[in-house]
Each structure stands twice: as structure tokens, then as C-alpha cells.
């Protein structure tokens, strides 16, 4: 379906994984040394997005916002990015122990909101978490894709937001998952 007239991207994930930094890095094209707890909602005009669709990017901060707001934002979003930090095993473990089940609880077990798993801070590690993400993609059909990036070096930052747009406008999860599961 290419009929969506705008895309709303929500970033969730454990405290300190770099959600706010990712958004500010995208906008300013440089790593912010100091970040507020939460970035203001950002709207990227259609003509500077790869898919030519106005795109809203929404940060969530458990320090500043309560769960009601998180649930409201989840219900409004077209795609949810679960951010983890590649150097923080707890944040990886929480993808399956908390975030994916939490999204299902609030959007429905069969919800159709695509999810992207985003491993931030890849500048700190020289190995990939892809092998850890692959089984998660198989178990949770809503996971559209995974990407590793760094708000610090800007690696894959514009790609991340492009994948999020693409997941809404040209979803492929069903195809990928049926191939993988056999």
C-alpha cells in the first residue's frame, strides 16, 4: 500500500540506549554531546524524505513520561523502532522479555504495526548482534528488519529512518518470515 499520506515513527527502548541521540544526530547530522531526556516531536517535510512522505519522529522517555503516554503513542504510530545498545546485554534481553510482548499486549497479539530492531552504539563494539536478532525476527513476525547504527559516528542513521519509512509504505515482513520459517 502506498496510500499512506504520512509516517509516524516511534522510538522506544530502555533508558540510556541512545533514542534521543539518534533523533538529534539525524536532524543535525552531528552527535550531540549533551541531550535532553526527550527530543521534541520532529516533522521531516516530504521533499527531504526518500519516499516523499511527511515523517514524524517521536521520542519516548520513561524519565519524563508515564506509560499512558507510551500506550497512546504506540496506538498512533505507523512503525515502532525498538532501540537497544549493542554494548548492553540487558537492553538486548529486554527486546524479547519486555518490549515485543508489551507492544503485543497493547496493540493486540496480531497487530500489524511493523517493528524495527535498532542496535545503537555500534562504534563501541566490533562484532555484530545480527546472530542474536535473527531468531527474534523468526519468532516475532511483526519485526520487519534489524539495523545496527551509531548516533556518535552517524553510521546508518539516515538508513534507519529510511527503513522505518519503507516498512510502512512497502511492508515485506510476511514474505521474509514465511521464507525463513519453512
Binding residues vs ligand GTP (CB under 6 A): 13, 15-21, 35, 37, 61-63, 120-121, 123-124, 150-152
Alpha-carbon distance 72 to 87, whole Å?
A: 30
- C-beta of 51 vs 87, nearer to ligand GTP: 87
DSSP string for 102-120: HHHHHH-TT----EEEEEE
DSSP string covering 54-99, please? -EEEEE--TTT--HHHHHHHHHH-SEEEEEEETT-HHHHHHIIIII
Distance CA 72, CA 86 (A): 28
Quick one: CA dihedral 22, 28, 34, 37, positive or negative?
negative
Instruction: Quote the least distance from Cβ 156 to ligand GTP, whole Å.
Output: 10
Is residue 57 within 8 Å of residue 26, measured between CB atoms? Answer: yes
Instruction: CB nearer to ligand GTP: give 44 or 157.
Output: 157
**Shortest approach of ligand GTP to residue 182 CB, angstroms?**
36
For the bound state, the minimum distance from the C-beta of residue 124 to ligand GTP, rounded and expressed in Å, comes to: 5
At closest approach, how far in Å is the CB of 170 from ligand GTP?
Answer: 27
Residue 72 vs 139, nearer CB to ligand GTP: 72
Q: Minimum distance from CB of 21 to ligand GTP (Å)?
A: 3
3-class DSSP state of 1: coil
Closer of 16 and 108 to ligand GTP (Cβ): 16
When the beta carbons of 74 and 141 are compared against ligand GTP, the nearer one is 74
Place of cell 529512518: 161
Nearer to ligand GTP by C-beta: 133 or 173? 133
Q: Which residue is nearest to ligand GTP (CB)?
A: 18
H or E element at residue 8 = strand 7-13
CB of 160 to ligand GTP, least distance (A): 11
Amino acid at each position: 500500500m502506498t496510500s499512506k499520506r504520512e509516517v509516524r515513527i516511534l522510538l522506544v527502548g530502555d533508558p540510556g540506549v541512545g533514542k534521543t541521540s539518534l533523533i538529534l544526530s539525524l536532524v543535525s547530522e552531528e552527535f550531540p554531546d549533551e541531550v535532553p531526556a526527550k527530543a521534541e516531536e520532529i516533522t521531516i517535510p516530504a521533499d527531504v524524505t526518500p519516499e516523499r512522505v511527511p515523517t514524524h519522529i517521536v521520542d519516548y522517555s520513561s524519565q519524563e513520561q508515564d506509560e499512558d503516554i507510551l500506550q497512546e503513542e504506540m496506538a498512533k504510530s505507523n512503525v515502532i523502532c525498538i532501540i537497544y545498545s549493542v554494548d548492553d546485554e540487558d537492553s538486548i534481553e529486554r527486546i524479547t522479555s519486555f518490549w515485543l510482548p508489551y507492544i503485543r499486549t497493547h496493540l493486540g497479539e496480531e497487530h500489524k504495526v511493523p517493528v524495527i530492531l535498532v542496535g545503537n552504539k555500534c562504534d563501541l563494539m566490533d562484532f555484530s548482534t545480527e546472530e542474536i536478532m535473527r531468531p527474534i525476527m523468526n519468532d516475532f513476525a511483526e519485526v520487519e528488519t534489524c539495523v545496527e547504527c551509531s548516533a556518535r559516528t552517524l553510521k546508518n542513521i539516515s538508513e534507519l529512518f529510511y527503513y522505518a519509512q519503507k516498512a510502512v509504505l512497502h511492508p515485506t515482513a510476511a514474505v521474509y518470515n514465511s521464507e525463513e520459517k519453512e
